[in-house]
């Protein structure tokens, strides 16, 4: 085997043993330092990747929560609409006017005398469906109130 460059310099007398030992030591420390920095860089990089993954997972959870909330709201609105359509009572075109307020506006619907009395006693309720007012029984109004209280326009609970 051939001599290393360091051995050749020693034989030529250009460097002494102390200088070669110091050079070897510096080379070793430099290699060790580079290896440590490389590990720190990869761990810092993996920490950054992990943080991004956690942030992405959090965003996904929030989007899923919003989607499920929107879906729940749509289902609830469909249930309310179905309850109203199924249980609404027929209004009279020329009955007795029943006045009520909605958002600081006075509205009226025409109902029979019996329905007007039942509305005032809380046996019937007025709800809004597609910009029209409908009269429904109190039992149905209670079911709607459980789902969305804002949908009730007039309901005199006992």
Residues 91-102 pLDDT 10s = 877 788 888 888
Say how far apart CA 85 and CA 106 lie, in whole Å.
24
Residue 146 structure tokens: 């459980």
Reading across the β-sheet that carries 152-154, which strands appear in turn? 132-137, 124-129, 152-154
Mean pLDDT value across residues 80-96: 85
In 3-state terms, what secondary structure has residue 95? Answer: coil
Amino acid 158: pLDDT: 59
Tell me the per-residue pLDDT of 6-35, one tens digit each, with 9 for 90 and over: 777 778 877 888 888 888 888 888 887 777
**Per-residue pLDDT at 1 exceeds 50:** no
Q: Is 141 exposed, middle or buried (0-12, 13-18, 19+ CB in 10 A)?
A: buried
Q: Quote the mean pLDDT of the chain.
A: 84
Q: Model confidence at 3, in pLDDT bands (50, 70, 90)?
A: low
Amino acid 42: pLDDT: 66
Dihedral (CA of 32, 33, 36, 38) sign: negative
């Amino acid at each position: 085997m051939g001599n290393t460059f360091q051995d050749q310099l020693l034989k030529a007398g250009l460097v002494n043993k102390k200088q070669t030992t110091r050079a070897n030591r510096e080379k070793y420390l430099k290699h060790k330092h580079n290896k440590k920095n490389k590990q720190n860089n990869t761990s810092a990089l993996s920490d950054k990747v992990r943080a991004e993954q956690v942030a992405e997972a959090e965003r996904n959870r929030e989007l899923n929560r919003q989607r499920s909330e929107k879906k729940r709201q749509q289902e609830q609105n469909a249930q309310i609409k179905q309850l109203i359509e199924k249980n609404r009572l027929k209004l009279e075109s020329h009955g007795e006017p029943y006045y009520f307020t909605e958002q600081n506006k006075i509205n009226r619907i025409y109902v029979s005398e019996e329905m007007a009395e039942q509305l005032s006693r809380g046996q019937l309720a007025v709800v809004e469906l597609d910009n029209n007012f409908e009269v429904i029984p109190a039992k149905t109004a209670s079911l709607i109130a459980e789902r969305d209280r804002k949908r009730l326009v007039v309901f005199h609970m006992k």
